[in-house]
Structure 1
Amino acid sequence: MDAFDHQHEHGLRKLWFVGDVHGEFQHIEATLKAARDANSLPNWLVFLGDLDIDHLPLRVVLEPMLTLSPELRVAFIHGNHDADSYAHWECLHDSGEAVVLHGRVVDLDGIRVAGLGGNFLGRVWAPPSTPTFTNKAAAMKRGPFGWRDGQRPSPKLHGAIYPEDVATLGQQRAGILVTHEAPSCHPYGWDTLDQLARDMGVLRTFHGHTHDDLSEAYAQQRVALGFDARAVNFRCIKNGLGEIVDDQQFHLKGA
């Protein structure tokens, strides 16, 4: 891990992970403005789910940020609240040039980042229980008669984690894994995500969802986990080294 941080230190500092924003983006804009004034803008913003927008497409929401930093790139995974309605799901995925990370490994300026969006939904799969559905396509079916009279499957099925999502990612390699759900080091975390991280050989994970930051406690379990787990709190930002990023630090640097 130390070798990874040393080799990629510059890139990791320019990689910002954004915790659950729930429709509020002003803190990101303020931090970007302060970083611009300090000549320390990031290269990437990676949202960890629960952007929670249902009134504007993500590509429109991002416009003020991209105005502040035209070279900025954006990636995201979905959270459970991004599937509260079809409007939520459609607004999130009307995303312009933003990169959808869910179920993929993407090279972000030399750092391989994997994404697993969504939540474990009991009616779909809550490990270690046997899954009801192995993939989204199966969950979206409604028997031989299908959906009639304009009905659609519950949008929550879009936000669920499916076994095939995990299995597909587990066959790939990455340096960082981002998830919405937490690994097992959180009291409400999941062993399945620990195993996924180990299967992929990741060195660090980031998650949102829990609206808390128990990263210091996670550090006590690092050896047992086999990776460095980091939480990103509600409306918080951390860089790829796991350091908190906010507008005040840039104002202090420029003082």
Structure 2
Amino acid sequence: MASDSNPRPANASEDRPKIVFFGDPHGDFNPVLDAVERLQPEAIVFLGDLQARQPLHVELAPIRKQTKIWFIHGNHDSDSDEDFDHLFHSELGDRNLDGQVQVISGYRVAGLGGVFRDKVWDPALPLEQAAVPSAESMAAHARRGRFGTEVDLRSTWRGGILRKHHSSIFPNVYQALCRLRADILVTHEAPSAHAYGFRALDDLAVHLGAKLVVHGHHHKAIDYLKEGLIGPDSPFLVHGVGKNGFLAWPPRGQE
């Protein structure tokens, strides 16, 4: 694991990380630009809550030709129209890993963006008991309105689901991921070893066959194995990445 205080030399190609995972920027991309300049990673992955103050491709213009850029969204990426549009409607909007697996620098990386909200799905309950199975079903219900014919504007945004729920985790996205295979799972929420984590993410990692789970959201760098939050028999390693921090992968000297 690399940290801002111990960056790898950019001129040492053997130390060049395959992927650097970045914790929640919340609009401040200077640490990202600095780290990419120093580390020269093959690819970077944001772990949500980007909240870009201008379109993401503008924020990251200095490094777009240096590295491949991917992201998942966090709960704050739907806080405002600007937060939403600067991410999802930027020229990098198609680099959202949510609900899919992409091969990035030789690793199969799966992404699950957003957060669990009980009005959609309380992950302590079975999937079949979820309040809303998909964004499509939520949008259809909102369009029908209270009387079955008129649109209830209090339940819609831009003709679809409320903006907030663009950062909700829907059961159908989770189920689709469970049918795929990946080496690494990136999430905004944390798995169950965190005090505010979710066992549903453990189960997802096991379904995927992932050996590494990396998350943001909680603004703290955590090596779960080193801190005794998981044991050596855990089927996967877990790392939390702090706000404006990063995790370089693979660890130095390992593949």
Alignment of 1:27-106 (within 5 A): 27-35=31-39, 41-53=40-52, 55-66=53-64, 70-97=65-92, 99-106=95-102
Please point out which of 195, 211, 215 is paired with 1:203: 211
2:48 counterpart letter in structure 1? G
The TM-score, its normalising length taken from structure 1, stands at: 0.81
Please point out which of 19, 26, 30 is paired with 1:15: 19
Aligned residue pair count: 225
SS of residue paired to 1:114: strand
The TM-score, its normalising length taken from structure 2, stands at: 0.81
2:241 counterpart letter in structure 1? V
Q: Aligned pair 1:239/2:248, yes or no?
A: yes
Flag structure 1 segments of 5+ consecutive residues without an equivalent.
Answer: 1-9, 36-40, 244-255
Aligned to 2:191: 183
Take 1:236 and 1:149, find their aligned partners in 2: how far apart are those partners?
A: 38
Please point out which of 214, 221, 226 is paired with 1:213: 221
Take 1:18 and 1:216, find their aligned partners in 2: how far apart are those partners?
A: 17
Aligned to 1:138: 137
1:96 counterpart letter in structure 2? E
Take 1:71 and 1:32, find their aligned partners in 2: how far apart are those partners?
A: 8
Contact map agreement 1:118 1:160 (CA 8 A) in 2: yes
Q: Post-superposition shift, 1:223?
A: 4.5
> How big is the alpha-carbon RMSD for the aligned residues of Structure 1 and Structure 2?
2.3
Q: Post-superposition shift, 1:177?
A: 0.4
Aligned to 2:8: none
Take 1:163 and 1:149, find their aligned partners in 2: how far apart are those partners?
A: 23
- The alpha-carbon distance between structure 1 residues 220 and 151, as it changes in their structure 2 partners (threshold 3 A), is closer
**Richer in helix (by share):** 1
1:236 counterpart letter in structure 2? G
Take 1:62 and 1:151, find their aligned partners in 2: how far apart are those partners?
A: 32
Segments of 4+ moved more than 6 angstroms: none
